[in-house]
Structure 1
Amino acid sequence: MSIDRIVFAVAGAFILISVALAHFVSPYWLWFTVFVGANLFQSAFTGFCPLAMILKKLGRQSGAAF
């Protein structure tokens, strides 16, 4: 699995988890959703993604985006 697919999978999982936490625990968890979305948005323009950097250091296969 390439770095791109891992990043997309982790971001999607974080968004789903934070929406579930906002529904069942507290609406303040939506700020975590905002953080993940903002990080995806800025990485589309800058190419900077902390998770991609960590995965690259762990030796994962690079994808087209990262």
Structure 2
Amino acid sequence: MSLERSIMAFAGFMVLLSLVLTALVHHNFVWLTAFVGANLFQSAFTGFCPAAMLMKKLGVKTEAELCKLKQ
């Protein structure tokens, strides 16, 4: 799985997790949903994504790097 798809999967998981926590644990977990959404929005413009940086350090390859490996 590429870095780009990993980020989408992670963000989707965090949104779903925060919604479940909001419903079952405490209503303030909705702020986690807001944080994930705000982070996705700002990363679209700035390119800065802490989760992507962490995944990159863990060895997740970008789509471009995966294409080069296939050739």
The question of a shared fold, defined as TM-score above 0.5 by the shorter chain, is answered with yes
Number of matched pairs: 64
- Which residue does the alignment assign to 1:12? 12
CA RMSD of aligned residues (A): 1.2
Aligned equivalents of 1:55, 1:26: Cα separation in 2:
29
- Residue 26 of structure 1 corresponds to 26
Listed as ranges, the gaps of 5+ residues in structure 2 are 65-71
Q: Which structure has the greater CA radius of gyration?
A: 2
**Mind listing any 5+ residue stretches in structure 1 that lack a counterpart?**
none
Give the residue type in structure 1 aligned to 2:27: P
Distance 1:34 1:2 in 2: 25
Q: When the two structures are superposed, what TM-score results if normalisation uses the length of structure 1?
A: 0.89
**Structure of higher RCO (CA pairs closer than 8 Å, 6+ residues apart):** 1
TM-score, length of structure 2 as denominator length: 0.83
> What's the offset of the Cα at 1:57?
1.8
- Give the SS at the match of 2:63: coil
